[in-house]
Amino acid sequence: MKKSSFKLPLTRLLTVMLFGLLALGACKSKKKVVEAAPEPVPVEEPAPAPKPEPAKPSAEEVAVGKLEDYFNAVANATNLQSANNTIREALGMFSNQNTPVLIVIHEEAGVKDYDEPTTIEKYLHYLKDTQKNLNFISDIRMDGSGRVAELELRRR
């Protein structure tokens, strides 16, 4: 007579474990299939917002840039003729040749102390004579026609 192989405890245990592994393996693969089954729902993306245009510089900012260039050109001019030509061009940006130029020498708690007031014409000739531009524009006021009406400078 033949002995049944299921009667041995070790064989029985191995057989049960084999079926258990197969069952678990089958469940995992079904789970993967079930997880992969849902189709992704197409999501409509909102239209991209238009890129903001670069901020255009104000008239004051443009004037400050041009005036700084003129001041440096007058101070660094190689001869009197080129300095005088640059002065003539720069004066065209002002409401008149007597436009006040105020140079701040000290400021404390919002109170400003100014050097002796001068005019733009005198200041440009001062730059030509000293050949040094030691100040920068800290405030500018424009008139209604887009010309400079007052200029405030500070030491660098």
pLDDT at 32: 53
pLDDT in tens, the chain (156 residues): 555 555 567 777 777 777 776 666 665 555 555 555 566 677 777 777 787 778 888 889 999 999 999 999 999 999 999 999 999 999 999 999 999 999 999 999 989 999 999 999 999 999 999 999 999 999 999 999 999 999 999 988
Q: 69 and 124 share a domain? A: yes
Which DSSP symbol is given to 7? G
Number of domains in the chain: 2
4 in any annotated domain: no
Q: 31 and 82 share a domain? A: no
Q: Are strands 118-119 and 100-108 parallel, antiparallel or unpaired?
A: antiparallel
123 in any annotated domain: yes
Q: 69 and 142 share a domain? A: yes
At residue 122, φ and ψ (nearest 5 deg) are -65, -40
Task: Report the C-alpha gap between 34 and 38 in whole angstroms.
Answer: 8
3 in any annotated domain: no
Copy the structure tokens of residue 59: 């008239």
pTM (two decimals): 0.65
